[in-house]
Amino acid sequence: MSETQQQMPPLMVLNQYVKDLSFEVPGAPMIFATMRAQPRVDINLDVQARRLSDDSNQFEVVIAVRAEAKDTTEGSADAVVFVAELAYAGLFALNGIPDEQVEPVLLVECPRILFPFARNIIADVTRNGGMPPVMLQPIDFLALWQARRAQATQPAGNA
């Protein structure tokens, strides 16, 4: 191992960026007049990671968040109030991390680094869209990764 490799930290954040961002209020402007209660917000979150090239130690990790709010006012038939979608990504370099630790680093540690920024963007875009800001609760990325691994190891008949 060269002296340069020894001095490199095991995990480096090379860049962070919004890969995709969408916000829509399909019922505007009428939804603002008819909605009388706080909308019910459903959150879906996913984490994906990929190596940039076969011979690279660089990876892209993406947190995908979808927040869909529905009007819970009686008679509204759960009309969609807004949909916010964000793919927030980071480029990471892994140096000297054992192969068996790469997956948990990419799917647990890297999302922990990215999450506060994604949370802020979702809150800002919903507030700027004229809605109450969506404040994502902290995510247990370790539990999310463990559940994904458990689901992947189940036989097809039990899924």
Q: Residue ranges per domain, the chain?
A: 8-21+46-65+84-151
Spatial CA neighbour of 92 closest among 64, 63, 119: 63
- CA triple 141-127-24, angle to 5 deg: 85
Neighbours of 126 (CB within 10 A): 21
Instruction: Please state, in angstroms and rounded to a whole number, the distance separating the CA atoms of residues 110 and 97.
Output: 14
Instruction: Please state, in angstroms and rounded to a whole number, the distance separating the CA atoms of residues 80 and 64.
Output: 20
pLDDT digit string (tens) for 22-62?
999 998 888 888 877 788 999 999 999 999 998 889 999 99
pLDDT digit string (tens) for 97-153?
999 999 999 999 999 999 999 999 999 999 999 999 999 999 999 999 999 888 888
Instruction: Determine if the pTM surpasses 0.85.
Output: yes
The superfamily in CATH containing domain 8-21+46-65+84-151 is SecB-like (3.10.420.10)
